[in-house]
Structures are given as C-alpha cells and as structure tokens.
A and B are shown apart, each in its own frame.
Chain A
Amino acid sequence: MSQPFDREPDDLDIAFRAMGDLLASVPHQLGYRLEGSDQLAIQVSGPGGRFLLPVDWPADQPNLHAARQTARAIEAVIHLHPSDAVLLLGYGPEAAERVYALREALRHQLEDTGDNISIAAIQVDQGQWRAFGVGVTGEWHPVPEVPVSILMAGFPAPAASLQEYRQQFQPLPEPTYGALPDSSRDLIDASPPGIRVELADRALQRLADRDPNPLDLPALAHVLDDPAVNHAVVTHTYSDRARLGSLVDAYRGAPSEQQPAVAAAAATALWLHGRIQEAQQVSAHVPDGTYFAASRDQLNALINAGVSPTQTAPRFTAAAETHLKYAETTWSATQPLAPGAPSEPAPPAPQPDADGPQL
C-alpha cells in the first residue's frame, strides 16, 4: 500500500491541538499503557454518545485483512450508536501502517453503508505522536503531561501492560480477610435491609478513602449475600471509580464462601460502568450452584446481545430500589409487633421472575 508520508506537513498539526490531551488521557481511562501491544484505541463519538474502543489488532493477519476486520467492528458500533467522528489511535512503530490501512478500510466500509463520518488517524510512538491526513503526514509532537482534570478524577495510574491490567481482575491466591465474627454477624442479620445497605456504603467509602475499619471487608462481603442489598450497593457504586475499585478489591480478596456474592456485585458494577471485558472476567468467578450463578448467566447474555450498559443503568437503579423496598417491607412484616401497634399487611410482591422464561 502506498503511503504519502513524505509530503510536507500543512496545517494538519495546527488543527489537532487537543489531540495531545486525549492521547495522554487514554491510558488512564483504559487502565493500562498500550505501547508494545497490538491494541489500538479508537474513539467513536457523535449523537449516539462517546465510546472508547480498545481493539486487539489481528497482528497475525496481513494489514489489509486486519484493517477490514477492524473496520467491520467499528462499523458495527456506529450502527448502534450514530456517530460523526472516529479517531484511530495506534501505538508503536507499526502503528503508522495500521492506522493508515484502517482509515482507508473504514472509509470504504462507511461509504458502503452511506455514513458520512470524519476519520482521524494518529500514531503514538516513544512518547511522541503525529497525525495522518489525506496525502499528508503531520510532524511529531511530544505527548503532553496528563491533564489535571484526569489526575483529579481518581483514575489509578495505568498498568504497564494489558496483561498486567487483566491480572488486577483475578482473585488473589489467598483471601485477604476472613469471616465476620458471630456476634457481629448476628447483629447485622437482625437489622433491616436498608441499614445493611448503609453499612456497606459506609464500608466501601472508608475503603475508597483508604481509612477502613478492621471489619469493613468481612461486613461488606456478608451483607452482599442478600440480593436486594447486593443490587442496592451496586447502584451506589458503579459510577464512582474509587468505590468501584474498592469493590473489585473486596472480590479479589474474598474468602471462597463470600466470593460468589462479591464477584457478582463487582461484575455487575463493572458492566454498568462500561467495563465490559472486566465484567466478563470477574463474572467467570461466580460458581455454579449459587443464587448469583443465574445473575452471572444473565450478565453474559446481556453482553453477548450487545445491550448498552449506559442505557440500562437507570432501569437497573429503579429495579434495585423496588427490590430493596420490597425487602424492607418483608423484613418489617417478620418483626414482632409492639403492644397495641396496628398490624400492616405486606404489599403485593413484584412480579416473580419464576413466571418469566428462564435463561
């Protein structure tokens, strides 16, 4: 494939002033550095929302074939989320060939489907970046420092590689905490579900603030075993990076008895946060034969069906609130009445899922 990389730069560089900030921020958003990998980071944005796609470049294929395959993957996303700009960010010395071939393949793919979308192709290598326009290659620029807004947002420092990042979602070899003492467990079990949610929320916040109480992790893992509490805690966690990170840490260090519930909560929260691959990785550690195994299967079915976590999140929150209210009322109905107190019937239950088809 001919590449007009030897022409003089024009105003291409002037037009891409914001690109440096994006390139500096992407590793923090993805959680790992892409140099030395076969991954591309692709931004798709427009009326259908903003998306960042980490793409595994099929490096064992010729570039032209790999570009066509990758273009099909991007087009499938655009089909679901109408877009008007696609930015192709390639890393490493081979990225120039890859993003150039990909841009051409994507233009061809989108022409076929009648889309009119701006496409930018960028190479990042050894701390520098350059843009490829039509018939022109931009000059090299240093990738700037990470924007303060990204550093202030609580993103952890990116892992050195994708492999190292994925390791962060595997259970630790040994549990980092044990079971709750009997006295504390009995006290917690005697409290209403809303109080248990409050307890879990406060524990997660202390863990996120790195100022935990000694029983925060065992108590959190214990209360998550109740599905109504589990779902409520997920709704209070998925959009907060620090709390989500603490929930993942709780799953990684959980004793085997608690791991299904904590893994299910972490997987669902990761999915709602848009971390789909990580959600799949964590949900694989929810074993068969537990209540949460069905949740795991549902989550995988949603992912395989391409259901948008962003669009599902508000409905999840509403369903979790309904679940918690019902659990609260059911709990109240089981408590001994005070002398002279009027009796209150339990409200009708939400439609049981047993009536619906099972996955």
Chain B
Amino acid sequence: MNQTSPDPVRKLFQDILLDRPPSTLPLVDAPEVVTTPIPIGDDDPLAPIMDAAAREAREQDGRQ
C-alpha cells in the first residue's frame, strides 16, 4: 500500500527547512558536548515540579 500521493506532512517539513534562516544557531554549538533538549509541556506531570525548583533557584539567587 506504499503510495506516493501528495503528502502534506512531507511538504510541511520541506517548508520548515526552507524557511529556516541560514543564520540560525544550531541547537547545540559545542561539538564536544552531546545534548538534545527534551521539551516539557504544561500538561507534563514534571512541569509543576520543574517550575517549583526553578522558582527556588531564582529566590536563592536573589539572596546571594
């Protein structure tokens, strides 16, 4: 059933890649370090935990 009909997803990906400004930094600009950020959405159960930890880091930073 493999088909080569018009594929809007493929078109979308092409458009995104074409629209990407050439000056945009790559996600990671440190060749000796490998990392791929994992986005944590608002509905992720880790989100409130991360927010609380970040808030404490900012509060602590303000005291120093």
Contact = CB atoms under 8 A, between A and B. Distances in A.
Interface of A: 11-12, 15-19, 21-22, 25, 29-30, 42-46, 49-58, 61, 66, 69-70, 72-73, 75-77, 79-81, 84-87, 118-120, 131, 133-134, 147, 149-150, 152-153, 189, 222, 225-228, 231, 239, 261, 274-277, 290-291, 294-295, 298-299, 301-310, 312, 315-316, 319-320, 322-323, 326-327, 330, 349-353, 356-357, 359
A350 B11 contact: yes
A231 B54 CA distance: 36
Given A225-B1, A326-B6, A17 B56 contact: yes
A15 B51 CA distance: 14
A357 B16 contact: no
Contact of A29 (B4, B9, B46): B46
User: Which of B6, B52, B57 neighbours the largest number of chain A CB atoms within 10 Å of its CB?
Assistant: B57
Interface of B: 1-18, 20, 24-30, 32-41, 44-64
A138 B47 CA distance: 25
Contacts of A52: 37-38, 40, 46, 50
A175 B3 CA distance: 25
Nearest to B41: A310
A231 to B, nearest CB: 5
Contacts of A353: 6-7, 10-11, 14
A225 B60 contact: no
A87 B57 contact: yes
Contacts, number: 245
Contact of A50 (B5, B11, B51, B55): B51
A77 B37 CA distance: 8
Contacts of B39: 49-51, 274, 308-310
B56 to A, nearest CB: 5
B26 A76 contact: yes
6 contacts: A45-B54, A152-B45, A225-B1, A226-B3, A302-B13, A326-B5
Contacts of A58: 32-33
A25 to B, nearest CB: 6
B1 A294 contact: no
Contact of B38 (A46, A53, A225): A53
A50 B30 contact: no
Contact of A226 (B1, B6, B40): B1
B49 A301 contact: no
A305 B17 contact: yes
Nearest to B40: A50
Nearest to A55: B35
Contact of B17 (A152, A301, A316): A301
Contacts of B20: 305, 307
B9 A320 contact: yes
A76 B30 contact: yes
A291 B5 contact: no
Contact of B14 (A85, A120, A298, A308): A298
Given A55-B34, A274-B39, A45 B51 contact: yes
A310 B28 CA distance: 17
A70 B31 CA distance: 10
Contacts of A239: 41
Given A76-B28, A323-B7, A18 B56 contact: yes
A326 B15 CA distance: 20
A17 B59 CA distance: 12
A66 B53 CA distance: 25
Contacts of B26: 76, 304-306
